[in-house]
Chain A
Amino acid sequence: MKKLFLLTALAVAVLGKAAFAADFPITAFIPAATTVNFVVSQVTPGPVPVFVNQPSLNLNFTTAGTGMSYDAVNGIWVGSRFFAIDLAPTQANGTPAPGTYGSITFSYAANVVPAGQAAAEGLNKRATLTAVRVNANATETSLRKGAIGNAFANLTNTDVAGGFLRVYVGLATGETGANAIPGSVPFTNADKPGTYTGTLTITATLT
């Protein structure tokens, strides 16, 4: 009888201790994923610019068959459209949101100019890149701007906190003052006629 009591006491002690020791740590780890969404829109200038989604990643600043048009007042050639590139993944409800990238960088290469045009006088100077943060209330905050050939800006998620990153790509218009784009020059009659092309690479990584 005494042995049975001791055994029962021991079992209660062991089970009791086991019950108190039954802590199950729960761990979940989400890796630092990198996501980014590139949405390209063709923008037709006007009092209210019109955005139209463009599936292609080729940005043609001129209307097919007509080329650029001449602005006699300012003595420059201008494009018929520019483009907006939004860099933000959509959430499940479709709301644009900053990506989980750490940084976005831009680089420009493959500058092609017509025969007779100086190699360094192509779209690298005559196209522009303007980066803005689109805020939650749809207003825009300028982040940086310049000729596309100098588009080495590194933008981080901190730059676009509270909104998402939009990059406008267009031809230089020669504007001055607050709207001037540093390093850019518009096409004029001094430029050789022909084809001007290049490649803009947008890179997204973590830091």
Chain B
Amino acid sequence: MRSPIWLLTFVFTVLFISQANAQVMIEQGKVVIRANPGETIVNTLPIHNTSEQSPITLRVYWEDFMYIEPFNGDKEFMPAGTSDRSASRWVNFSPQEFTLDPKGSKLISYSIQVPQDAKGGYYGVLFLEEGGGDAQGSVGVSIVTRIGALFFIETTNSSRTCKIENLAFSDQEFKGDFMNTGDAVLIPDSTYYIIDKDGLVAERGEIAKFYLAPEKTTAVKFSAGDKLAVGSYTVVLTFDFGGGESYTYEFDYTKATDGSVKVTKIAA
């Protein structure tokens, strides 16, 4: 006898396949624009309805966004024009509402007029929203679904600078405060190398990805190579911001016979 769970799974899978509410695809979920102050950018954003069943009516609008603590990619969405680094006044797009037939596609045209005095990074998200009608019945919730294309508009004279402070060792890890001292969001690919006194790499690894807004600080931590032998080592941290820009932080430490670790020299 087949179990009810098997039957339920089968029934649900069939329902899932055949009756999807909607399936919207934004071809570029992240639009990165490097522009000169005063430059105007004109481009399009392709949108697709990848379902075969139902047409979708979408409302298009802009909001600001910024990465927030713990800077692991969490974002705060804000009304257009309300964030410190809003680009909403520069952005025009069309259409602002449209219907996509099953398997249909549409181009959203946008233009961005970067002011002469702009400097740094400016961030927003173009949302495509479905739903939002009045909730029906006496006790009910209306569902609004929206999917966004993140816009990173950064001027060519943006400052990608940072520093690390308060380096410390505890629980077999080095920890430090990574501060974004520039005017653009930093999303570095971060690596570390531990080099022994013979110049050989004794350990290497990646530092967890972070998304750091300007003027914000986040903790970075990485292994101190707890399996390494007693001795002297050099640590090289590299934060690759992309586009050929990076930050390197270097320090020496010694590991004593009792396992204690002491930072001896910092050369950022």
Contacts and interface: CB of A to CB of B under 8 A. Distances in A.
B224 interface: no
B118 interface: no
A63 B19 CA distance: 22
Contacts of A70: none
Contacts of A141: none
B107 interface: no
Contacts of A194: 138
Interface size bucket, A side? 35 or more
B139 A195 contact: yes
Interface stretch (A6-14, A85-93, A173-181): A85-93
Nearest to A100: B29
Interface stretch (B129-137, B170-178, B188-196, B249-257): B129-137
A154 B65 CA distance: 14
Nearest to B26: A34
A143 interface: no
Contacts of A156: 73
A37 B21 CA distance: 7
A45 to B, nearest CB: 13
A62 B21 contact: no
A171 to B, nearest CB: 7
B141 A55 contact: no
Contacts of B29: 31-34, 100-102, 205-206
Interface string A60-80: 111010011000000000010
**Main SS of the interface on chain B?**
mixed
Contacts of B211: 207
B50 A35 contact: yes
B107 to A, nearest CB: 14
A51 B11 CA distance: 8
A148 B144 contact: no
A103 B30 CA distance: 13
A85 B21 CA distance: 10
Interface in B1-46: 4-5, 7-9, 11-13, 15-30
A52 B146 CA distance: 23
A56 B18 CA distance: 15
A39 B211 CA distance: 30
16 contacts: A34-B26, A40-B143, A57-B131, A57-B132, A61-B140, A67-B139, A101-B147, A102-B73, A105-B77, A195-B138, A195-B139, A200-B144, A203-B77, A203-B148, A206-B29, A207-B75
Please provide the 3 A-B residue pairs with the shortest distance between their CB atoms, ordered closest to farther.
Answer: A34-B29, A60-B137, A207-B73
Interface of B: 4-5, 7-9, 11-13, 15-30, 50-51, 54, 73-75, 77, 125, 127, 130-150, 211
